[in-house]
Structure 1
Amino acid sequence: MLNKKVLRKICRQNRQSLPHQMRQIATLRANRVLKFCIKRGKNIAVYFPIGSEMRLDEFVRTAQKRGAKIYLPYIEPRQLRLWFTPYSTGKSERLRGSGSLKVPQFAGKKIRVHRLNTLILPIVGIDKMGYRLGQGGGYYDATLAQTRHIVQPKKIAVGFACQQIDALPHEAHDCRVDAFVSEQSCYWF
């Protein structure tokens, strides 16, 4: 089995090779498939797309119109465990993350992952058992590991169908997701 670094490169190339029009159609379809998790008053965390990650703009607009509360990840300095702040279309207060993974950070009342009903996670790749390959920062795995023994939100990975592979190497700290949403459908694990 290939190591995670090589798999990240392959999965990113697959994602980046999608033609622009095909990417737009796939994004629109996946955003529509994802709407099943919208419930009035529920807390839903989305991600801020980096590079060629799938955008969730339509999903966010629909969720807000339907009365869901939308949150974005917030990275504390020198910490892996995430907080979540209310979604904002305004200017971020700063960028946070490691290496090229600079994520905008927004102000607002922070909540922890166990206060979310649904956590929508970005992927670089995902396998057929529900293990996701992220950017490599470890933020989501560290956050979910802290709450393994209490109620966790529904974990839904979102990406393009071309990002799904047969098997990924995984370690004890890697958390499986509950579902994978792509332009083709929602696949439950």
Structure 2
Amino acid sequence: MKKALRREIRARRLRVSAAQRRRAAIAAAQYALQLITQRRARRVALYLAYGSELPTAPLIQRLQQHGLRIAVPRITAPGVMHFEWLRAGAPMRRNRLGIEEPATRGSRAHRAELDVVILPLVGFDLRGNRLGNGGGFYDRWLARPRIAQRPRYLGYAYALQQAEHLPREPWDIRLDAIITEQGTRWPTG
């Protein structure tokens, strides 16, 4: 079921034109910035978009303009990732999955240090469930030992990635909000 849902939603994303992609990325970045600054967040972890994902470059630019500290993922072993603080002007490279990451190792960002984590997703529903890309990187990272004050978990996607209902596994962590080019959506259940 998850494979079929991923195929269907990815096909929707592929139909988004380059112009629509740019407009959506700018609009979503503004909504995300509003939410992040309202929450007085100072340290944000987020993914570097690739393929047909909602671009995160406009959001990164806005967060940097507001002086927020940004962490991005680095794959360290098969199925394992952590976040590192992004350094201005640091060279980037594509990892074995084709996703950009810092070319040289940096300072690790621990979950307890983060105020917000913006998660990639293929699909979401209004209960706060997230359908990931299928590699389990984020599920494993999120499942690490609990911390006293966890960051807010925000989904970041096109509105067309919404599904009526997504399957939920026992290890899945609900999103606190979903940000799209149409605004912020708050889970209802």
State whether residues 16 and 52 of structure 1, in contact with CA within 8 Å, keep that contact through their aligned partners in structure 2.
yes
Equivalent residues in 2 for 1:3-22 (5 A)? 3-22=1-20
Structure 1 portions without partners, runs of 5+? none
- Residue 115, structure 1, aligned to residue 127, structure 2: no
- Counterpart selection for 1:105 from 81, 92, 101: 101
Length-normalised TM-score, structure 1: 0.87
Structure 1, residues 78-109: CA drift from partner, whole Å, max 9, x if none?
A: 453x321122554336614xxxx333332211
Q: Relative to structure 1, is the Cα distance of residues 61 and 152 closer, same or farther in structure 2, using a 3 angstrom cutoff? A: same
1:134-145 mapped onto 2 (5 Å cutoff): 134-145=132-143
Quick one: which amino acid aligns to residue 6 of structure 1? A
Percent identical: 32
Paired letter, 1:68: L
Q: Is the 8 A contact 1:41 1:69 kept in 2?
A: no
SS class of match (1:8): helix
For 1:15-94, list aligned pairs within 5 A: 15-36=13-34, 37-38=36-37, 42-80=42-80, 82-88=81-87, 89-92=89-92
C-alpha distance in 2 between matches for 1:18 and 1:41:
31
Residues 15-72 of structure 1 show CA distances to partners (whole Å, capped at 9, x for unaligned) of 1112232222222111111112047781101101120111122221121121110110
Q: 1:165 to 1:40 in 2, by over 3 A?
A: closer
Post-superposition offset of 1:123: 1.2
Q: How many angstroms does 1:4 deviate by?
A: 0.6
1:154 pairs with 152, 155, 158, which one?
Answer: 152
Unaligned runs of 5+ in 2: none
Per-residue deviation, 1:179: 0.5
Question: 1:164 maps to what in 2?
Answer: 162
* 4+ residue runs over 4 A deviation: none
Tell me how far apart the structure 2 counterparts of residues 24 and 166 of structure 1 sit (CA, whole Å): 26
| Cα RMSD (Å) | 2.0
Letter in structure 1 aligned against 2:101: Q
- 2:83 maps to a residue whose letter is F
Letter in 2 for 1:53: E
